[in-house]
Structure 1
């Protein structure tokens, strides 16, 4: 089949096991996120700042199989190697990626501002070297969020290092000011002035906040319910920015919600507009435009397998929708990317297909060189990819 090249609005780095040991003091490194796997028992324990979180692992040696019998390794071979990763991307037809941390996403459960700031710097110093290897890599800087001043300082440092996106958790604190509060205004100002894209990855709320709000389920249907619940955090985060006037005050600021689907966008836009009109007497602050206009212009979303996400573009008018591979995570598309893309967008008109596979991503990150045309690839190590 013809190769459909696509940019990914959701991919991940895999941090080396010794990242924090080699970049932080021992007293700080031992409190940063680390994974201990019990392959025989089938469990992984995440240790974070004195806390432990357990989750099930796939069975040892398990390989995923799709409906056509295609088997996929639990982890892509290039996951830990920035040179081999380009080979994986070329074979899958993925050109550029917005890349979040993996283990680093557990930093949202750290409660010590000093530890979080030091850990974020360590992650970012490593991630920027990954990005510098190829312009096809767009690493999202980890921003410490426990104090406004530390968040602003790392945004400024990240921009000076060359980052183009700033990763924020969908909920900033367990107790305290949420994203719609006025106290965060210096952060939005810094992001707007530096031009960094606000990157919300679903499932990035502090683990304690999730369990306290009842979003972790056990028993029948628990796995499906938990997966569903992770999608709501990103929707709430961008709704807070819209409703509190962040995009009104900073019209150049843009945000993306990664791995949370896209069909929710028009629904959230409609609900915010209805509230703005029908409950006008209670609305504060007043906005210069309808809430839906900010969502349709300032907010982007990436989807993975969602068939309905395409309709958000073709039938609902939200053009800020891009596809994402979730490389190299187990629920991603590695091994069947082309099959997935052809099923999702293969029958679309060329302009709409390009918008979803490349155009929306290019608006957010115009510095990335364009993807090759047709089936030919320039190769992962030529001048355009170094």
Structure 2
């Protein structure tokens, strides 16, 4: 039997209590957080959020079984069961992303979003991060109001948070990340030594525009695979914005993680951006002090779960900020076959490359973790 490979995971998720916001906000705000009302026939439901509402068809029995299977791991909602799962799978430390916060872009009232995320952050700190030294929870901040985002980032940094989750595109009513409006936030994050953790598949849904389809961009032949693949591109765009706008150039100590989007895109994006600066210099108004490649390779980290090419990015393309992630407890993750996955990924890898991807890069982002078991 092969020796167990212990690895840190730069991508996992936790399902908060569904009534977390409703139970912990004053009634005038609790009435604005998401709630659903099912039709008597069980085929449709109405979703109410922040004074808006929309109708959506409920999943078929087969689809519902698929959704439930995607959260099949015992520790999806129970942190103590989660730790047992991690020990069994050979996962040591985890970066933990939220679930309720995926509704953030649907709010339009700054106060209710600010206070809801504050409740989430207090809960996650007390439930996930504080009692479990191996777990690194990601804080959430409003992308509807940059001032609110800065205030909450500074508050959670004082609590001890080390990472803040951002969707790959901010709230539809806010300017995008490459605009100057976000400069004070990047400065605050650098000062707090807070890792910016983008997660793919988090492009906002603007309900006020009538868009209730979420990530469904394509229908027809190949639609599922098209939509699944499409989710990865948002993380690449977020990294490009951070580089091209000069945000990372101005803040060399700021670190960015793009979770679950693979890693070989980083060398390609570096090539493409370098070509743009080189071949179209006269058209580029904003000049960087450092090359796009240097910025990407030193300040941007990328996690993957199954991609053999990600190991090649570290071994053969000079990009060493590659991290593995289990995507626990999602269906596309490695729960139930983590050791088989890790053994396959690293069977022919240089031990130094394996150590960097499974342990070293994670510890670089989040120092001070309990040491990984030696066997």
Q: Give the TM-score of the pair, scaled to structure 2.
A: 0.90
- State how 1:140-159 maps to structure 2 within 5 Å: 140-159=138-157
**Map of 1:106 onto structure 2:** 103
Question: What's the CA shift for 1:35?
Answer: 6.7
For the pair 1:190 / 2:191, whether they are aligned, the reply is no
Aligned mates of 1:99, 1:295 — CA distance in 2:
23
For the pair 1:88 / 2:77, whether they are aligned, the reply is no
- State how 1:1-386 maps to structure 2 within 5 Å: 1-33=2-34, 48-49=49-50, 50-52=52-54, 56=59, 59=62, 62=65, 74-129=71-126, 130-208=128-206, 216-374=217-375
Deviates more, 1:155-164 or 1:279-288: 279-288
Question: What's the CA shift for 1:55?
Answer: 7.2
CA RMSD of aligned residues (A): 2.6
Aligned mates of 1:152, 1:61 — CA distance in 2:
39
Q: Give the SS at the match of 2:17.
A: coil
Aligned mates of 1:222, 1:351 — CA distance in 2:
40
Distance 1:42 1:80, change over 3 A: farther
Aligned mates of 2:308, 2:325 — CA distance in 1:
13
Structure 2 segments unaligned to the other structure (5+ residues): none
Q: Give the SS at the match of 1:59.
A: helix
Aligned mates of 1:217, 1:311 — CA distance in 2:
31
Q: Give the TM-score of the pair, scaled to structure 1.
A: 0.88
Please tell me whether the aligned partners of residues 215 and 229 of structure 1 are also in contact (alpha carbons under 8 angstroms). no
Distance 1:269 1:215, change over 3 A: farther
Aligned mates of 1:19, 1:213 — CA distance in 2:
23
Question: What's the CA shift for 1:173?
Answer: 2.9
Q: Give the SS at the match of 1:322.
A: strand
Structure 1 segments unaligned to the other structure (5+ residues): 65-71, 375-386
Question: What's the CA shift for 1:171?
Answer: 0.8
Please tell me whether the aligned partners of residues 33 and 103 of structure 1 are also in contact (alpha carbons under 8 angstroms). no
Deviates more, 1:14-23 or 1:29-38: 29-38
Distance 1:293 1:31, change over 3 A: same
List per-residue Cα deviations over 1:196-223 (Å, max 9, x = no partner).
0000011112123988999611222111
